[in-house]
Structure 1
């Protein structure tokens, strides 16, 4: 299990999808992107979806996600995302009463039971007392994490000038 804390945005994309019967149908899908602002979220989802969708698509909605952390499963069969509401239990020192605070997470899993197991796996490594208040499957299709290293590589010009990359033509000396 891997966890990632960030600012997440839920983005709805509308496009024409080719159905199994060969018909085109307008559908809306929900994706999550890691971004610092609404503008960056829109740019990221357009960049990511351009590789998967041929033709035009429209960003219909962007909203800040109600969770700050995602638990990613390493299991290849995990293809769903579940919203989990956990209650952290603390004792108020003044009143000596139990206090519960709610925190939402997004959990990557294949089944409901696997989502609960993934929560226990991650939270079991902490010393915090918690109760799983709810777990519900979402309509989220995928999560796109911010990958600054890949974007930097894509934007950096090649260090070797183009004329040095080409092999020298017959009879010409290589440029030094």
Structure 2
């Protein structure tokens, strides 16, 4: 079963660095099987982070094929990856685009992390575009079973600091895909 990611926009009052409050709307990514579950899960996740009232202003299906958190990175980047296939009937190259959400600190690191994420790809590909995403955080689905708790800890570890796992090409998406099989 393929993972479906929902982009949920949440409006709430946020306190900035100098202590003043302002209303802001921020997008978050939730792994869910329906809009209803996405709404339920974003309410649960945001209740843990926001002490005041918040409002969900929009929920839509995100067009990300894969999510790749990396350690010691604090921003999310949208990487456009073009898979290249040769069409034998027409004799032409065909490109199929997919989008990855990759965690990094800057565009160069996002490019490098995209290459790491694509390391085991059998076919040819190009990376024609990388841009910073407004996504604030990603909340994958874990069922709460003991095996899933280990996966969740590993996912959160990958989101927060860099280790030999990243250099080995291991990402938290490996754990998410295993969860949905």
Shorter-normalised TM range: 0.7 to 0.9
CA deviation vs aligned residue, 1:43-64 (integer Å, no higher than 9, x gap): 0000001011011000011110
Aligned to 1:15: 12
CA distance in 1, matches of 2:45, 2:31: 12
What secondary structure does 1:22 align onto?
coil
Identify the residue that residue 97 of structure 2 maps to in structure 1.
102
Task: Pick the aligned partner of 2:29 from 24, 27, 32.
Answer: 32
Q: In the alignment, what sits opposite 1:116?
A: 111
Counterpart for residue 62 of structure 1: 59
Match of 1:159 in 2: none
5+ residue gaps, structure 2, are 149-181
> How many Å separate the matches in 2 of 1:47 and 1:28?
17
Q: Identify unmatched segments of 5+ residues in structure 1.
A: 154-176
Offset, 1:150? 5.7
Higher Cα Rg, which structure: 1
Q: Aligned-pair distance for 1:6?
A: 1.2
Q: CA deviation at 1:124?
A: 2.1
**For residues 126-162 of structure 1, what are the alpha-carbon distances to aligned partners after superposition, in whole Å with 9 as ceiling and x for unaligned?**
21100101100011110001111269x9xxxxxxxxx
Cα distance in 1 between the residues matched to 2:87 and 2:140:
37
The separation in 2 between residues aligned to 1:94 and 1:21, in whole angstroms, is 63
Q: 1:44 to 1:18 in 2, by over 3 A?
A: same
d(CA) in 2 for partners of 1:86 and 1:126? 11
From 130, 133, 136, the equivalent of 2:128 is: 133
TM-score, normalised to structure 1, is 0.78
1:20 CA displacement: 2.7
The alpha carbon displacement at 1:110 in A equals 1.5
TM-score by length of 2: 0.76
Structure showing the higher helix proportion among its residues: 2
1:47 matched to which residue of 2?
44
User: CA-to-partner distance for each residue in 1:30-55, whole Å, 9 max, x for gaps?
Assistant: 10000011110010000001011011
